[in-house]
Homo-oligomer: A and B are copies of this chain.
């Protein structure tokens, strides 16, 4: 993956709203982990909020809760086998960075690492844990965002259950039908 450029945090929606599987990296004290996540939603542009279901059965749950931080990394089709392996193993028994040949780059605003091989990286701080105990639902603010310079439209993968993924297809513009106030916050 070529070197990355900064992205305004509110433009993270352009990559997360379409619903891709993401890799969540976390670090607490001396421990680092990474997990797959398909249950997330954008919640606000400014501040740039994203809600994530990180179930308590995941080894990452306590790392994220204790540190109050994570990085949401955006993998593409070339990483699909890695994504599946990460989703089918536990950080309790495996160093998932080493086992999957992932490179941990330092983040700017959080201790959790960026995954270099991913198309984009969103550094997150936990801003609201009101629903963590009841639903394992974490509300993060994206405080720093990075993306690869190209391509404009990454081949993200979208999980449909039962071992099957939908791959991001063609782009279609309907800009001409929008009211101007409804535009913006996209990939351009």
- A residues neighboring B (CB under 8 Å): 11, 13-15, 17-20, 38-44, 49, 51, 53, 77, 80-81, 84-85, 87-88, 128, 130-131, 134-135, 137, 139, 153, 157-179, 182-188
Contacts and interface: CB of A to CB of B under 8 A. Distances in A.
B169 A13 contact: no
A-B pairs with lowest CB-CB distance, top 5: A19-B19, A162-B186, A169-B169, A163-B175, A161-B186
Given A161-B13, A167-B171, A178 B19 contact: no
Contacts of A175: 162-164
A186 B172 contact: no
A172 B19 CA distance: 16
Given A53-B41, A80-B174, A171-B166, A17 B182 contact: no
Q: Which of A19, A53, A87, A139 has the most CB of B within 10 A?
A: A19
Given A19-B20, A40-B41, A77 B172 contact: yes
A135 to B, nearest CB: 6
Nearest to A186: B162
Contacts of A185: 161-162
A169 B158 CA distance: 10
23 contacts: A14-B160, A14-B161, A14-B162, A17-B160, A19-B20, A41-B41, A41-B51, A43-B137, A49-B135, A81-B177, A87-B182, A88-B179, A161-B187, A163-B176, A163-B177, A163-B182, A164-B171, A164-B173, A164-B186, A165-B171, A165-B173, A166-B169, A166-B171
